[in-house]
Amino acid sequence: MISTKIGESDPVLSLKDLFNDSTISNEIQSEIRELREKTRIDNFKLLEEIQTILQRCAHLNPKQRLMYCESQRYFMKIYLRDVNKQK
């Protein structure tokens, strides 16, 4: 029967240091911040595009306009939630 002692300082068994490295953690946190910023910018661009469609497309019927307005409301909520989280 093979037994291992977890408390030993054997380099193979000491994997804890790999997961607690502060530089890796800082890199991951900065990547997460960049991703959130990109997502917020993309949501804002999408909101602008929806607004442009609502303003310029006179051929839309009321049902289509309602659909665009609902989409705009949904993305506005997401955008505002992200902006409020940032503060």
Instruction: Profile the chain (87 residues) by mean pLDDT over runs of 10 residues.
Output: 55 58 74 88 93 93 95 92 83
3-state helix, strand, coil in the chain (%, to 5): 75, 0, 25
User: Does residue 20 lie within any of the structural domains?
Assistant: yes
Q: Say how many domains are in the chain.
A: 1
72 located within any domain:
yes
- Identify whether 58 is part of a domain: yes
pLDDT for res 6: 56
Residue 48 forms part of a structural domain: yes
Q: What is the pLDDT of residue 53?
A: 94
- Domain range for 61: 16-86
Residue 4 inside a domain? The answer is no
pLDDT for position 28: 85
pLDDT at 18: 61
**pTM score, two decimals?**
0.63
